[in-house]
Amino acid sequence: MAKKGARVQVTLEHKCEQGIYRYHTTKNRRNTTDRLELKKYSPVTKQHEIFKEIK
């Protein structure tokens, strides 16, 4: 049986001309109801970029 809780898995994605890179993380849906945006390292562009949550 699946566990019910406040934490859900989300995918963070960065798109650019060179390609797409994704990170997988979790967030608390009770505290963070909006889509997540984090600045993380992108190995595609070799610099820090803004990653946005996708469905």
42 is a domain residue: no
17 is a domain residue: yes
26 is a domain residue: yes
3 is a domain residue: yes
10 is a domain residue: yes
Q: Considering the entire predicted model, what is its pTM?
A: 0.83
* Closest of 31, 17, 19, 25 to residue 52, by C-alpha: 25
54 is a domain residue: no
Q: Which pLDDT score, from 0 to 100, does residue 18 have?
A: 92
Give the side-chain half-sphere CA count within 13 A for 37: 3
pLDDT in tens, 4-52: 889 999 999 999 999 999 999 999 999 999 999 999 999 999 999 999 9
pLDDT exceeds 90 at position 54: yes
When divided into structural domains, the chain yields a total of 1
- pLDDT top residue among 10 and 2: 10
pLDDT exceeds 80 at position 3: no
